[in-house]
A and B are shown apart, each in its own frame.
Chain A
Amino acid sequence: DTAVSQTPKYLVTQMGNDKSIKCEQNLGHDTMYWYKQDSKKFLKIMFSYNNKELIINETVPNRFSPKSPDKAHLNLHINSLELGDSAVYFCASSQGPSIREETQYFGPGTRLLVL
């Protein structure tokens, strides 16, 4: 059983296209996250939802829009893709954002390449 799953695993697309990445967790967690890992391997938080409510919204272009239909799903939609959007996008979940020692469980990542 996969705890945090993402689809697709690989995404190759042209500049200017619109694409979505889906994430699902079966851990019963309340909080979900989207991270971007660039070529230098830094993981940067983009968004976080707790019980379907947005709690973290970092400075990312408004071309990126997260959507949480329920607390087990957090999808990421990207409009007008640019070359700089090429990266690995990780979804993660945790029991709750305020629990001191909560562990974030990461998905396998979606490798996005914009041509």
Chain B
Amino acid sequence: KNQVEQSPQSLIILEGKNCTLQCNYTVSPFSNLRWYKQDTGRGPVSLTIMTFSENTKSNGRYTATLDADTKQSSLHITASQLSDSASYICVVRVPGDYKLSFGAGTTVTVRA
């Protein structure tokens, strides 16, 4: 079983609307949790990073939250734009480990 589970698998929203993506993880302890955006045909790009002591982190219209007690994170996209259409991947890092645990991603499609 993967240590990082994301939901929903995919979603479609209208331009200008908001949406929230979920990430549940079982990795413990963890060093940091990161959200990546992967455009179709490209490599992932880091959006936000949070350590276990942080609750929220924003990057423009993207806001990530973290609840280390329940091992949940969310990524909120505000006033979506067509360019937000991409896969959003939740990634958790274990302290002292070089490796990262990746979720399968949520594919977001923004329609005009």
Binding site for B on A (CB under 8 A): 4, 31, 40-45, 48, 55-56, 58, 90, 92, 97-98, 100-101, 103-104, 106-109
Contact = CB atoms under 8 A, between A and B. Distances in A.
Contacts, number: 49
Contact of B42 (A41, A55, A109): A109
Interface in B75-112: 87, 89, 96, 98-100, 102, 104-105
A106 B96 CA distance: 21
A97 B98 contact: yes
A45 B42 contact: no
A43 B101 CA distance: 8
B32 interface: yes
Contacts of A42: 2, 102, 104
Given A103-B46, A103-B49, A56 B99 contact: yes
Contacts of A41: 87, 89, 104-105
Contact of A106 (B34, B44, B51): B44
Given A106-B44, A107-B43, A56 B98 contact: yes
A4 B42 CA distance: 12
20 contacts: A4-B43, A41-B89, A41-B104, A42-B2, A42-B104, A43-B44, A43-B102, A44-B102, A55-B98, A56-B98, A58-B99, A90-B43, A92-B43, A98-B98, A100-B32, A100-B51, A103-B46, A104-B100, A108-B41, A109-B41
B12 interface: no
A88 to B, nearest CB: 9
A45 B100 contact: yes
Interface residues of B, number: 21
A101 B51 contact: yes
A4 B49 CA distance: 20
B24 interface: no
A107 B41 CA distance: 11
A55 B96 CA distance: 13
Contacts of A109: 41-43
9 cross-chain pairs, A with B, having the tightest CB-CB distances, nearest first: A106-B43, A97-B98, A43-B102, A103-B46, A41-B105, A106-B44, A41-B104, A42-B104, A107-B43
